[in-house]
Amino acid sequence: MSIKIENLTHVYMPKSPFEKLALDNVSLEIEDGDFVALIGHTGSGKSTIIQHMNGLLKPSKGKIIVDGIDITAKGVKLTDIRKKVGLVFQYAEYQLFEETIEKDIAFGPKNLGLSDGEISERVKRSMEMVGLEYEVYKNKSPFELSGGQKRRVAIAGVIAMEPKTLILDEPTAGLDPKGRDDILKQIQRLHKEYGMTIILVSHSMEDVAKIALKVMVMNHGKVVLKGTPKEVFKEVKTLEKIGLGVPQVTYLIQALRAKGFKVSDNAYTIEQARDEILKSLVENK
Ligand code: ADP
């Protein structure tokens, strides 16, 4: 299953004084099993593009092909797309509303008209997938939980629809460092252990360097860079020009190299930087 976007243009409020070109002839492909980070400044078009991927927004021009089906064609049911592509909004926990966690997660599957047994199975499975023990949490109110746990319940609610692809819009926003690390680990697990295709919207270079396999950088409604984190973070000038920069440790490595320290610049996370620095100390002894 892949998501192909072909020449997608989106204009908000066309032919009005507030007309805004949010996406400008964007083409990209997300392949089955990918872990893609979409990065860019506020207003660069990230939310607009992801809302096209599950049919919430319709293109002004262009096509979106999900699993071989043009989802912009007439007669395509949104529920069919949502079963394939799940979208976790920013601060998704604000949308929790049921009195128990179990009921909240069951809400989506219920709307699919599944049997009670299947709904219950899905709730259990999706809670396990986000690291919430079913027996401990099922009867608790979502409002008794910490911020990070609430967010996991919201993610479980989307996973319970059993999408093959999961899109998460800034899933670490507003969490403390521990909550952030926990959520990133869970997302990584969804990719590694459950084989989900992940699209992560983020503006944290550190998060992206840690977990994404591919990076797409957006600016003013266009995708301006695409590649592995290594390929993208090499483009320091372009990234700085659009005000994004690279992970902090990358600057550290560059500063060391500028001072004549013979260390490889193949380091975008703290762990990689540590390894490269230790390696260079041994090699240059
Ligand atoms: P990002 O997610 O990268 O912050 P968005 O996709 O939300 O970017 O926004 C892209 C552009 O479209 C911005 O200029 C934003 O102001 C505009 N925009 C977003 N949503 C709407 C809307 N509902 N109506 C009008 N303009 C919008």
**pLDDT tens sequence for the chain (285 residues):** 899 999 999 999 999 999 999 999 999 999 999 999 999 999 999 999 999 999 999 999 999 999 999 999 888 888 889 889 999 999 999 999 999 999 999 999 999 889 999 999 999 999 999 999 999 999 999 999 999 999 999 999 999 999 999 999 999 999 998 888 999 999 999 999 999 999 999 988 888 888 999 999 999 999 999 999 989 998 988 999 998 888 889 889 989 999 999 998 888 888 889 999 999 999 877
CA distance 9 to 24: 5
Residue 82's pLDDT is: 86
State the residue for tokens 């394939």: 84
CA distance 148 to 174: 9
The secondary structure of residue 200, as a DSSP letter, is: E
Contact 255, 263 (CB under 8 A): no
With a Cβ cut-off of 6 Å, ligand 1 is lined by 12-13, 20, 22, 40, 42-48
The residue whose CA is least distant from atom 25 of ligand 1 is 12
Q: Residue 63 is encoded by which pair of tokens?
A: 């096509």
Residue 275's pLDDT is: 93
Question: Can you tell me which atom of ligand 1 is nearest the CA of 20?
Answer: 26
Residue 245's pLDDT is: 84
Q: Residue 204 is encoded by which pair of tokens?
A: 């944290």
CA distance 159 to 187: 11
CA distance 245 to 171: 21
Residue 3's pLDDT is: 97
Residue 257's pLDDT is: 92
Question: Can you tell me which atom of ligand 1 is nearest the CA of 169?
Answer: 2
Q: Residue 165 is encoded by which pair of tokens?
A: 């692809």
Look up the pTM and report it.
0.92
Question: Can you tell me which atom of ligand 1 is nearest the CA of 49?
Answer: 6
